[in-house]
Amino acid sequence: MKFRNFKMVDYVVYGRGSFNQLDEIIAPRRKGDAPMVFLLDHFFENSPLAHRIPLRGKDKLIFVDVTYEPKTTYVDKIAGDLKQEFGTVSGVIGIGGGSAMDLAKAVSLMMTNPGSSADYQGWDLVKVPGVYKAGIPTLSGTGAEVSRTTVLTGPTKKLGMNSDFTPFDQIVLDPELTANAPVNQRFYTGMDCYIHCIESLTGTYLNEFSKSYGEKALQLCQEVYVKKDTWDAESDDKLMMASYAGGMSIAYSQVGVAHAVSYGLAYLLGTKHGIGNCIVFDKLEEFYPEGVYEFKKMVEKNKIDIPQHITKGLTDEQFNTMIDVSLVMKPLWENALGKDWEKLMTRDRLRALYEKL
């Protein structure tokens, strides 16, 4: 048995308004006149938040397009442009949902590692640390703020740059930044966390480390989505900590069926992570009966639309593509179904599952 030696985020600041400390926090990380680069989710263009970015000297603010989940080509373009303009930078700070945070992690790594980010899609392929990087979530749920990966769609695969150099040096958890997120988006991303908890807590890889965080995150999700009748500031506070704890839970265990299946949807149809997980989880009663029952209650209570029949009319070849992508996720299947998962999850059974979506 080889135990994971888990590299964590170095510094965490939590609290309403903690974003105001950013200037002070990054000051010691500035290297001469090399700029800090802020990658801000394009949703915040012309917003008050854009005017609160602590720009100094040659600092650069880039509004990143997160219409699609991050691509290796986009990461390479941003890093290439920065190298051309500045040579080197003091750091990269990602502010936004999981997409903007993942872009920041990847760009930081590509400021120092040669070649294309596509060369590093996999496990422990990144060999040298990136420049200083900080993550600041404006949506809660993905756990990208604590994870050792940055999920990228490359020329041949959708796979993260998983490495000990990937976690942020600093995260700023300011729940005020998640206020006013659209109800559906907030739900889809929040459910990513809920699903992380269910998949971790029911998985065969479960251990007390994962359980401690997973149970707390699950309880927080239930408080905001099941018990409370209206969304308020406290809900933002709780969901932000749920995301953090949910991320810590899966870091030391693994996700499961919903993630394995939704990867296939993302690859073929471009379905985004949060909504894709919801579409799949909605149909997983046979694997997660209690979780799916509660999920449906939360969907109803929060008046959310979960898209239906999204795989209707796809060809055999397209179904096979999704099945191939999904079955590559071996640790996820093993966590969900145990060592004999290959006997349990046949291509036919997976095809039937995809047809339900």
152: left (phi over 0), alpha (psi -120 to 50) or beta: beta
| 262 contact, one of ligand NAD, Zn ion, none, CB 5-8 Å limit per kind | none
Asked if residue 43 binds ligand NAD (CB under 6 A), the reply is: yes
150, 101, 274, 72 alpha-carbon torsion, rounded to 10°: -50
Q: In Å, how far are 35, 169, 248 from 150, measured between CA atoms?
A: 23, 14, 15
> Binding residue for ligand NAD (CB under 6 A) from 36, 37, 66, 126?
66
89, 10, 129, 42 alpha-carbon torsion, rounded to 10°: -50
354: helix, coil or strand? helix
> Binding residue for ligand NAD (CB under 6 A) from 274, 276, 292, 327?
274
> Binding residue for ligand NAD (CB under 6 A) from 108, 113, 149, 162?
149
The rounded distance, in Å, linking the Cα atoms of 246 and 165 is 21
> Binding residue for ligand NAD (CB under 6 A) from 108, 163, 189, 249?
189
| 150 contact, one of ligand NAD, Zn ion, none, CB 5-8 Å limit per kind | ligand NAD
163: left (phi over 0), alpha (psi -120 to 50) or beta: beta
**Residues touching Zn ion: how many (CB under 5 A)?**
1
Asked if residue 192 binds Zn ion (CB under 5 A), the reply is: yes
Asked if residue 69 binds Zn ion (CB under 5 A), the reply is: no
Sign of CA dihedral 228, 232, 237, 242: positive
Asked if residue 94 binds ligand NAD (CB under 6 A), the reply is: no
For Zn ion, the closer of residues 78 and 242 by Cβ is 242
Asked if residue 35 binds ligand NAD (CB under 6 A), the reply is: no
Residue pair 118/125 in contact by the 8 Å Cβ criterion? no
Residue pair 353/283 in contact by the 8 Å Cβ criterion? yes
The rounded distance, in Å, linking the Cα atoms of 215 and 82 is 42
> Binding residue for ligand NAD (CB under 6 A) from 75, 131, 144, 242?
144
Sign of CA dihedral 305, 309, 311, 314: negative
Q: Which window, 6-14, 36-44, 168-176, 329-337, contacts ligand NAD (CB under 6 A)?
A: 36-44
20: helix, coil or strand? helix
CB of 251 to ligand NAD, least distance (A): 9
For Zn ion, the closer of residues 79 and 217 by Cβ is 217
CB of 196 to Zn ion, least distance (A): 6
The binding track of 233-262 with respect to ligand NAD, each residue x by CB under 6 A or -, is: ------------------------------
- Please tell me what DSSP assigns to residue 267: H
CB of 69 to ligand NAD, least distance (A): 4
Q: Which residues bind Zn ion (CB under 5 A)?
A: 192
Q: Which residues bind ligand NAD (CB under 6 A)?
A: 41-43, 66, 69-70, 96-100, 102, 138-139, 142-144, 147, 149-151, 178, 181-182, 185, 189, 192, 272-274
